[in-house]
Amino acid sequence: MIRFRLGSVVGLSAIGVPFLTLIAPSWLTLMGVGPSWSILWLLPWSLFAGPVSGLLSGFALGLSLDAISLGDATYAPFLSILGLWWGYLGKRSLLFQRGFSLGLLSWIGSIFVSLGLWLQFVLNGTVSPVTLFNLWSFHTLLAQSILTGLMAPLICSLLLMCFKNYRFLPSSNFSRDSL
């Protein structure tokens, strides 16, 4: 008999984010750029768990993404800020758990993270100051934010539903026989 708990579901889904980033299915790309899987996981978790958990999860997720990337920029501060902000929004209102709101919040978050990474590249000297907002960064920002915003209502609502269903179960256990 297999038993699942909320912690194991959250842990397994959080470990899956860097793997999805590495695998990057080609059929889920727009102009060669995939969605921001970190935002698609962090948004429902922060809305569900609150600001402190969102902050810590964003930082841990940012560190795991920094470990698999080769650039000079870091994801950790921007994902932490988003986790904290989305956690406050989740504790204040249930209106942010609807499809349009999830898409809009993930779109804003994707733009925020992309602009933060671009700003780090500018400050590190990786990007030439003459062409501050060059074509590749605009292409990546636009494609990733559109794709993340379009995928968020489906993926984030499924994750939110999964997190909420585990919260209200007695001792949060499932057995294979009950499925």
What is the pTM (predicted TM-score) of this model? Answer: 0.81
Residue 72: its pLDDT value, please? 82
Render pLDDT for 126-168 as a digit per residue (tens, 0 to 9).
776 566 556 677 888 899 999 999 999 999 888 888 877 765 5
> Looking at residue 34, which CATH number applies to its domain?
1.10.1760
Residue 1 lies in a domain: no
Residue 102 lies in a domain: yes
- The answer for residues whose C-beta is within 8 angstroms of residue 42's C-beta and 6 or more apart is 54, 57, 58, 61, 79, 82, 83, 86, 109
Render pLDDT for 61-118 as a digit per residue (tens, 0 to 9).
898 888 888 678 899 999 999 999 999 998 887 666 688 889 999 999 999 999 998 8
> Which one, of 74, 93, 84, 7, lies nearest residue 53 by Cα?
84
Residue 140 lies in a domain: yes
Residue 34 lies in a domain: yes
Residue 46 lies in a domain: yes
- Tally the domains of the chain: 1
Helices (runs of H) and strands (runs of E) counted in the chain: 6, 0
Contact 146, 108 (CB under 8 A): no
Domain of 30, in residue numbers: 6-178
Residue 132: its pLDDT value, please? 54
Count of beta carbons in the 10 Å neighbourhood of residue 124: 11
Question: Which has more confidence, 99 or 4?
Answer: 99
Residue 57 lies in a domain: yes
Render pLDDT for 17-50 as a digit per residue (tens, 0 to 9).
777 777 777 777 778 888 888 899 899 989 988 8
Contact 44, 86 (CB under 8 A): no
